Amino acid sequence: MTNKEIWEKLHTELRFRPKYPSESVVQYVFRNFKRDGNTKVLDLGCGAGRHIFFLAKENIIPYGIDISEEGVKYTRELLKRYEFNSFTKNIIVGDFTDLKFENDYFDGIICYGVLYYSKKEQIEKSVEEIYRVLKEDGKALIVVRNTEDYRFGLGKEIEKNTFIIDENDSNKCAYNESAMIMHFFTEEEIRSLFSEFSKVEIDILSETHENNSYKDSDYIIRLSK
Protein backbone atom coordinates (compact mmCIF):
# COMPACT_ATOMS: atom_id res chain seq x y z
CA MET A 1 0.00 0.00 0.00
CA THR A 2 1.11 3.57 -0.66
CA ASN A 3 1.20 6.29 2.00
CA LYS A 4 -1.95 7.77 0.43
CA GLU A 5 -3.83 4.46 0.58
CA ILE A 6 -2.86 3.97 4.22
CA TRP A 7 -4.01 7.48 5.15
CA GLU A 8 -7.31 6.99 3.33
CA LYS A 9 -7.93 3.93 5.49
CA LEU A 10 -6.84 5.59 8.75
CA HIS A 11 -9.01 8.66 8.19
CA THR A 12 -12.14 6.49 8.16
CA GLU A 13 -11.48 5.60 11.83
CA LEU A 14 -12.61 7.97 14.58
CA ARG A 15 -9.44 7.51 16.63
CA PHE A 16 -7.43 9.11 13.81
CA ARG A 17 -9.56 12.25 13.94
CA PRO A 18 -8.00 14.15 16.87
CA LYS A 19 -10.25 16.89 18.21
CA TYR A 20 -7.85 19.32 19.84
CA PRO A 21 -5.00 21.31 18.26
CA SER A 22 -1.39 20.72 19.22
CA GLU A 23 -0.19 22.95 22.05
CA SER A 24 2.82 23.91 19.92
CA VAL A 25 0.55 25.12 17.14
CA VAL A 26 -1.68 27.08 19.52
CA GLN A 27 1.30 28.88 21.05
CA TYR A 28 2.85 29.62 17.67
CA VAL A 29 -0.36 31.03 16.22
CA PHE A 30 -1.01 33.28 19.21
CA ARG A 31 2.55 34.63 19.13
CA ASN A 32 2.94 35.16 15.40
CA PHE A 33 -0.34 35.82 13.58
CA LYS A 34 -2.92 38.59 13.73
CA ARG A 35 -6.41 37.31 14.41
CA ASP A 36 -8.12 40.07 12.46
CA GLY A 37 -10.05 38.14 9.81
CA ASN A 38 -7.49 38.94 7.10
CA THR A 39 -4.59 36.63 7.97
CA LYS A 40 -4.28 33.57 5.70
CA VAL A 41 -2.64 30.43 7.09
CA LEU A 42 -2.12 27.17 5.20
CA ASP A 43 -2.16 23.84 7.02
CA LEU A 44 -0.13 21.36 4.97
CA GLY A 45 -1.37 17.89 5.79
CA CYS A 46 -4.54 19.12 7.47
CA GLY A 47 -5.84 15.59 8.04
CA ALA A 48 -9.16 15.62 9.91
CA GLY A 49 -9.02 19.37 10.43
CA ARG A 50 -8.11 19.96 14.07
CA HIS A 51 -5.83 22.89 13.21
CA ILE A 52 -8.14 24.18 10.48
CA PHE A 53 -11.00 24.41 12.98
CA PHE A 54 -8.75 26.10 15.53
CA LEU A 55 -7.65 28.72 12.98
CA ALA A 56 -11.25 29.40 11.93
CA LYS A 57 -12.33 29.90 15.55
CA GLU A 58 -9.45 32.35 16.05
CA ASN A 59 -10.63 34.59 13.18
CA ILE A 60 -7.86 33.44 10.84
CA ILE A 61 -8.66 32.44 7.25
CA PRO A 62 -7.71 28.73 7.07
CA TYR A 63 -6.51 26.86 4.00
CA GLY A 64 -5.79 23.15 4.05
CA ILE A 65 -4.25 20.52 1.81
CA ASP A 66 -4.12 16.77 2.36
CA ILE A 67 -3.49 13.72 0.19
CA SER A 68 -6.46 11.97 1.80
CA GLU A 69 -9.88 12.52 0.25
CA GLU A 70 -11.43 11.15 3.46
CA GLY A 71 -9.50 13.67 5.55
CA VAL A 72 -10.53 16.58 3.34
CA LYS A 73 -14.16 15.45 3.32
CA TYR A 74 -14.25 15.23 7.12
CA THR A 75 -12.60 18.66 7.52
CA ARG A 76 -15.15 20.29 5.23
CA GLU A 77 -17.98 18.64 7.18
CA LEU A 78 -16.45 19.88 10.44
CA LEU A 79 -16.38 23.46 9.15
CA LYS A 80 -19.99 23.23 7.98
CA ARG A 81 -21.11 21.79 11.33
CA TYR A 82 -19.85 24.92 13.09
CA GLU A 83 -21.07 27.32 10.39
CA PHE A 84 -17.70 28.11 8.84
CA ASN A 85 -19.16 27.27 5.42
CA SER A 86 -17.24 29.98 3.57
CA PHE A 87 -13.94 28.22 4.32
CA THR A 88 -14.85 24.80 2.92
CA LYS A 89 -13.65 25.78 -0.57
CA ASN A 90 -10.18 26.38 0.90
CA ILE A 91 -9.78 22.71 1.90
CA ILE A 92 -8.50 20.63 -1.00
CA VAL A 93 -6.89 17.34 -1.94
CA GLY A 94 -3.40 18.06 -3.18
CA ASP A 95 0.33 17.45 -3.30
CA PHE A 96 2.84 19.49 -1.29
CA THR A 97 5.26 19.42 -4.22
CA ASP A 98 2.87 21.40 -6.44
CA LEU A 99 0.87 23.92 -4.42
CA LYS A 100 -1.87 25.56 -6.49
CA PHE A 101 -1.37 29.03 -5.06
CA GLU A 102 0.25 32.25 -6.24
CA ASN A 103 3.66 33.36 -5.04
CA ASP A 104 3.71 35.26 -1.72
CA TYR A 105 0.13 34.25 -0.89
CA PHE A 106 0.14 33.16 2.76
CA ASP A 107 0.94 34.96 5.99
CA GLY A 108 1.74 31.64 7.61
CA ILE A 109 2.13 27.91 7.07
CA ILE A 110 1.73 25.02 9.49
CA CYS A 111 3.04 21.55 8.66
CA TYR A 112 2.73 19.49 11.81
CA GLY A 113 4.09 15.94 11.66
CA VAL A 114 3.58 15.41 7.94
CA LEU A 115 6.59 16.47 5.84
CA TYR A 116 8.62 13.40 6.80
CA TYR A 117 6.23 10.96 5.09
CA SER A 118 8.19 11.37 1.84
CA LYS A 119 11.46 10.65 0.09
CA LYS A 120 14.16 13.32 0.10
CA GLU A 121 13.44 14.58 -3.42
CA GLN A 122 9.78 15.20 -2.58
CA ILE A 123 10.74 16.90 0.68
CA GLU A 124 13.12 19.26 -1.13
CA LYS A 125 10.43 20.21 -3.65
CA SER A 126 7.90 20.73 -0.86
CA VAL A 127 10.27 23.09 0.94
CA GLU A 128 10.70 25.08 -2.29
CA GLU A 129 6.92 25.37 -2.55
CA ILE A 130 6.57 26.43 1.09
CA TYR A 131 9.07 29.22 0.47
CA ARG A 132 7.37 30.27 -2.76
CA VAL A 133 3.83 30.65 -1.40
CA LEU A 134 4.84 32.43 1.83
CA LYS A 135 4.72 36.22 1.86
CA GLU A 136 8.00 38.07 2.26
CA ASP A 137 7.36 38.55 5.97
CA GLY A 138 5.64 35.18 6.36
CA LYS A 139 6.31 32.61 9.07
CA ALA A 140 6.06 28.83 9.20
CA LEU A 141 5.96 26.12 11.85
CA ILE A 142 7.13 22.68 10.74
CA VAL A 143 7.49 19.53 12.84
CA VAL A 144 9.54 16.58 11.54
CA ARG A 145 10.93 13.35 12.96
CA ASN A 146 14.60 13.17 13.90
CA THR A 147 17.08 10.31 14.06
CA GLU A 148 16.57 9.90 17.82
CA ASP A 149 13.00 8.74 17.28
CA TYR A 150 12.46 5.06 18.05
CA ARG A 151 11.23 4.42 14.52
CA PHE A 152 14.63 5.27 13.04
CA GLY A 153 16.04 2.08 11.53
CA LEU A 154 12.71 0.26 11.91
CA GLY A 155 12.25 -1.35 8.51
CA LYS A 156 13.97 -1.26 5.13
CA GLU A 157 16.18 1.73 4.35
CA ILE A 158 15.43 2.89 0.80
CA GLU A 159 17.71 5.96 0.85
CA LYS A 160 19.77 7.69 3.51
CA ASN A 161 17.67 8.10 6.68
CA THR A 162 14.50 7.08 4.82
CA PHE A 163 12.74 3.84 5.68
CA ILE A 164 9.68 1.81 4.82
CA ILE A 165 8.45 1.35 8.38
CA ASP A 166 7.91 -2.17 9.67
CA GLU A 167 6.32 -2.36 13.14
CA ASN A 168 4.52 -5.53 14.23
CA ASP A 169 3.79 -4.55 17.84
CA SER A 170 0.22 -3.23 17.93
CA ASN A 171 0.94 -1.47 21.22
CA LYS A 172 3.60 0.76 19.67
CA CYS A 173 2.92 4.16 18.11
CA ALA A 174 4.31 3.13 14.72
CA TYR A 175 2.05 0.11 14.27
CA ASN A 176 -0.37 2.12 12.12
CA GLU A 177 2.54 3.57 10.15
CA SER A 178 3.77 0.18 8.96
CA ALA A 179 4.50 0.17 5.21
CA MET A 180 4.70 3.97 5.15
CA ILE A 181 7.72 5.81 3.79
CA MET A 182 9.30 7.93 6.54
CA HIS A 183 12.32 10.22 6.50
CA PHE A 184 14.29 11.12 9.63
CA PHE A 185 16.00 14.51 9.76
CA THR A 186 19.28 15.74 11.19
CA GLU A 187 19.78 19.33 12.34
CA GLU A 188 22.44 19.90 9.68
CA GLU A 189 20.04 18.69 7.00
CA ILE A 190 17.30 21.04 8.22
CA ARG A 191 19.59 24.06 8.13
CA SER A 192 20.59 23.16 4.58
CA LEU A 193 17.01 22.52 3.42
CA PHE A 194 15.70 25.81 4.79
CA SER A 195 18.77 27.92 4.04
CA GLU A 196 16.76 30.36 1.87
CA PHE A 197 14.78 31.50 4.90
CA SER A 198 16.02 34.54 6.80
CA LYS A 199 15.57 32.86 10.18
CA VAL A 200 15.59 29.18 11.17
CA GLU A 201 15.04 28.11 14.78
CA ILE A 202 15.20 24.43 15.76
CA ASP A 203 14.15 22.79 19.02
CA ILE A 204 13.54 19.19 20.07
CA LEU A 205 10.09 17.91 20.95
CA SER A 206 10.13 14.44 22.53
CA GLU A 207 7.87 12.14 24.52
CA THR A 208 8.70 8.81 26.15
CA HIS A 209 6.37 5.82 26.47
CA GLU A 210 5.98 2.67 28.57
CA ASN A 211 8.09 3.72 31.54
CA ASN A 212 10.68 5.47 29.39
CA SER A 213 11.34 2.38 27.26
CA TYR A 214 11.07 4.18 23.91
CA LYS A 215 10.41 7.69 22.64
CA ASP A 216 8.97 9.81 19.88
CA SER A 217 11.46 12.52 18.95
CA ASP A 218 10.81 15.45 16.64
CA TYR A 219 12.39 18.69 15.56
CA ILE A 220 10.12 21.70 15.81
CA ILE A 221 11.21 24.25 13.21
CA ARG A 222 10.23 27.92 13.26
CA LEU A 223 10.87 29.80 10.04
CA SER A 224 10.77 33.40 8.87
CA LYS A 225 11.03 34.19 5.17
How does pLDDT run across 99-121, given as a tens digit for each residue?
Answer: 999 999 999 999 999 999 999 99
CA pair distance 63, 80, nearest whole angstrom: 15
Summarize the confidence of residues 16-21 as an average pLDDT. 76
What pLDDT is recorded for position 189?
98
Q: Is 60 left (phi over 0), alpha (psi -120 to 50) or beta?
A: beta
Domain boundaries, the chain: 3-224
Task: pLDDT band for 10, please (50, 70, 90 cuts).
Answer: low
Q: What is the mean pLDDT of residues 108-135?
A: 98
Contacts of 214 (CB under 8 A, 6+ apart): 150, 172, 208
In the predicted structure, residue 123 carries a pLDDT above the cut 80: yes
Fold (topology level) of 3-224: Rossmann fold (3.40.50)
Q: Which residues pair with 41 in a beta bridge?
A: 62, 108
Q: Given a cut of 70, is residue 24 above it in pLDDT?
A: yes
Reported as a single tens digit per residue, the pLDDT across 181-218 is 999 999 999 999 999 999 999 999 999 988 888 899 99
Q: Count H helices and E strands in the chain, helices first.
A: 6, 10
